[in-house]
Structure 1
Amino acid sequence: MLLPDKSVLASLLRRYRVWERMVLADPHDPAARQRLEDIAYTLCVLMGRRTVQEAIIEAERYLAAGRTVPRTADRPKG
């Protein structure tokens, strides 16, 4: 499976969380709900998951995998 660019995915997760807060603040705003649904759909497609909860978990896992720090013995000497 092709994986999305990590910076694009991180940006999309941030936008999802912003719009989620906006919908929670005003749940009857149809424009905010539609924007949140659009971003959720994009997350699902990018991560190959059926639900936004699964997509978020997978996206966070994928982003965290690149943050590991190599052990001292693995670092290049210089």
Structure 2
Amino acid sequence: MLLPDKSELVALLRRYRVRERVVLADPHDPAARRQLEDLAYTLCVLMGRRTVHEAILEAERYLAAGRTVPRTADRRSG
């Protein structure tokens, strides 16, 4: 599976969370709800998951894994 660019994924998660707060503040706004659903769909596709909850968990695991893995030296054969 191809993995998304981490900076793009961070931006997408941020937009999703902002839109989620907007929908919680005004749950009857159809435009806000549609934007949230579009972002949820995009997260699901990028992370290969069926639900937005699963997609967010997978995205957070993917982003966290990059922080804990030490960089290795460039291995060039000489």
What is the TM-score when the length of structure 1 is the normalising length?
0.87
Q: After the TM superposition, which segments of 4 or more aligned residues of structure 1 sit over 6 Å from their partners?
A: none
Distance 2:69 2:29 in 1: 43
Aligned to 2:10: 10
Between the aligned residues of both structures, percent identity stands at 83
What is the TM-score when the length of structure 2 is the normalising length?
0.87
Q: Give, as a single letter, the amino acid of the residue that structure 2 aligns with 1:4.
A: P
5+ unaligned residues in a row in structure 1: which ranges? none
Task: Pick closer, same or farther for the CA change 1:47–1:69 going to 2, 3 Å.
Answer: closer
Q: For residue 68 of structure 1, report the CA deviation from its aligned partner.
A: 1.4
Aligned to 1:66: 66
Q: Give, as a single letter, the amino acid of the residue that structure 2 aligns with 1:58.
A: E
Q: Secondary structure at the match of 1:66?
A: helix
Report Cα offsets for 1:3-59 as digits up to 9, x if no partner.
000000000000000000000000000000000000000000000000000000000
Distance 1:21 1:67 in 2: 27
